[in-house]
Chains A and B, each alone.
Chain A
Amino acid sequence: MENEKQILQIEDLKFWYPGKGFQLEISNLKINRGSKVAILGKSGSGKTTLAHLISGILKPKSGSIRFMGQDITDLNDAERRAYRIKRIGFIFQEFELIEYLNVLDNLILPYKLNQSLSLNEETINRAKTIAGRIEIENKLDKYPNQLSGGERQRLATARALITSPALVIADEPTGNLDTQTANKVLNEIINQSSESRSTLLMITHDPRLLESFDQVIDLNKLTNPITL
């Protein structure tokens, strides 16, 4: 029962980059479905590495990562890519919108890039509905440089959630923002994640934002084991 509540389980994970002194070790980590989790740590502590391991971009040297009951470390490259497309949504620090695509194309970009996701009229209509919810429905033919900062941020978040991923990984989306703006951005991400019932995993180095999270993984104080 407890396992059904958990979306992610990490056991005895070890990872290092060859030739570099860095090593990441996590003996036990569990994340519940629908929760909001912050990964906190200073620069170089392994936050992004952990996010890449969870999303299947990197493969651990040892240990297991079970996502919705499936051990992703057993998957090959193509299978991990398929898992990432279907299960994970990404929000980036600088939003990383594609400047030469209009708002609608940016929003449905995951469908355009992946043949395993079907891009049809239903998808387009859903995208338009989402655009309406985030108040950019009148700007579907505009380009990112024609949007305000807030609109760009909402668009980037909506793009990450359009495939209704089980897990959203936000990599320092509030970096370099003042507290007020950072909170605004964070609330937007949390609201959209909640609406799509996605679990949120946010990488941050800003301890001011931690109040909003159910769980905090502090890589600065990595202990063995890391558990709830």
Chain B
Amino acid sequence: MQVAALAITMSLPITANMIVSEISDKLQSRAKKTPLIFGAKGDRFDLAINSLFFRGAPSSQISMLEYKRVKNENRGSIVPIILGFTAKEYPVVGTTTEYFLERNLASKSGTLPLVLGDVTLGYLCAKKLNLKEGDHILTDQVNLYNLSANNPVKLNITGILKESKSADDETLFVNLQTSWLLSGIGHGHVKIDDKTPSESILSKNKSSITANASLENYIEVTDENINSFHFHKEQESLPISSLLAFPRNIKDETILKGNYINNKTIQSIRPKEIVNELLEFVFKIKRFLNTSFILTGVAALLFLLALILLSIQTRKREIKTLFLIGCDRKTLALLFIGELVILSSMALLVSIITAYALKGLAIGVIV
């Protein structure tokens, strides 16, 4: 019981420090590997965290035109990403093949998502969902009660990525066109022409025929229907959530960032700075927690002292017996110190094991 009490007391500060340490390492590592992020003006923390870890989507978006403008600066690799969709609660991220090059992501099997309707799964996604190449996965319905919301789309799994021990392991990747399909900007359906049944037609004139809502959209892209898919927007106005920029060198990075300081619609951020700002807040909390843990530690030490005094008190007769049989005071003291060392060591071992177990649980939930 003494060991358990001490172990619990010691495991709390150990766990807290381990969790904070691991989270900050993960955040900083991801941020360091992404020199710049471009996105719509607004909350920079939102932009950084969403773009780095794919949790949700930025509240505002930029356009393909703005993507091309940044890309045409020719200062390095500019990778667009589209966020805001999920499948089985895992984020579905639309991007280009450059993303995989910049993140050093390789296929474990199959291919990257090159075609409309294809999806490549992150390592842990495939493992947890027990999916493999050739299987299909349905995207999540955004709002069950919104009749006008886009239908889920059945994606074709074309590949599985190797483990990267990053947020990419729990992400599904599609190309940009597939993301626009998921957003409802694009769709596919049977050809509308003079042969289309009248009950499916909303209006008809010399130059165009408009179908009504009874015309069903395809929810799966196949070899047979892929050519029917189209987008009802100009390419340049198609939305992008954010751009990950990988400049060639520091000079290019500085110029690229500098060019958008005063831009009215786009902001550029250094993820490393944003994450450090966030972590400073976390470390403040950690410092506060450490102070409270110090107090807990003092309480634990006092508890230990009380245990020792109680032990001596209850074992007075044993001590007297040992003394009378011939044990010297030094040996008696060593006996008690030895017991204390063993108890404390056991408590420390149990607390470290507990801390690792709690950390594993907490990290799985938090990150």
Closest chain A residue to B335, Cβ basis: A113
Q: Are B321 and A92 in contact (CB under 8 A)?
A: yes
Closest chain B residue to A169, Cβ basis: B324
A84, B320: Cα distance in complex, Å? 14
Q: Give the one of B320, B325, B327, B331 with max A CB within 10 A.
A: B325
Closest chain A residue to B324, Cβ basis: A90
Number of residues in A with C-beta < 8 Å to the partner? Answer: 15
- Which residues does chain B contribute within 8 Å of A109, judged by CB atoms? 325
Q: Are A94 and B317 in contact (CB under 8 A)?
A: yes
Q: Are A98 and B331 in contact (CB under 8 A)?
A: no
Cβ of A104 to closest chain B Cβ, rounded Å? 16
- Which residues does chain B contribute within 8 Å of A94, judged by CB atoms? 317
Q: Are A113 and B324 in contact (CB under 8 A)?
A: no
Q: Check: A55 CB closer than 8 A to any chain B CB.
A: yes
Contact of B326 among A85, A96, A98 (CB under 8 A): A85
Q: Are A113 and B321 in contact (CB under 8 A)?
A: no
11 contacts across the A-B interface (CB closer than 8 A): A55-B324, A81-B326, A81-B328, A84-B324, A84-B326, A90-B321, A92-B321, A96-B320, A98-B318, A98-B322, A114-B326
Interface size band for B: 10 to 19
A84, B317: Cα distance in complex, Å? 18
- Which residues does chain A contribute within 8 Å of B325, judged by CB atoms? 90, 109-110, 113, 159
Closest chain A residue to B326, Cβ basis: A85
A114, B324: Cα distance in complex, Å? 11
- Which residues does chain A contribute within 8 Å of B321, judged by CB atoms? 90, 92, 96, 98
A92, B321: Cα distance in complex, Å? 8
Q: Check: A57 CB closer than 8 A to any chain B CB.
A: yes
Interface string of A150-166 (1 = CB under 8 A from B): 00000000010000000
Q: Are B318 and A114 in contact (CB under 8 A)?
A: no
A113, B326: Cα distance in complex, Å? 7
- Which residues does chain B contribute within 8 Å of A81, judged by CB atoms? 326, 328
A110, B321: Cα distance in complex, Å? 11
Cβ of B340 to closest chain A Cβ, rounded Å? 16
A85, B331: Cα distance in complex, Å? 14
Closest chain A residue to B321, Cβ basis: A96
CB-CB under 8 A for A96 and B331, given A84-B326, A90-B324, A114-B326: no
Q: Are B327 and A113 in contact (CB under 8 A)?
A: yes
Interface string of A104-131 (1 = CB under 8 A from B): 0000011001100000000000000000
- When A and B form their complex, which 5 residue pairs have the shortest distance between CB atoms, in order from nearest? A85-B326, A96-B321, A113-B327, A114-B326, A90-B324
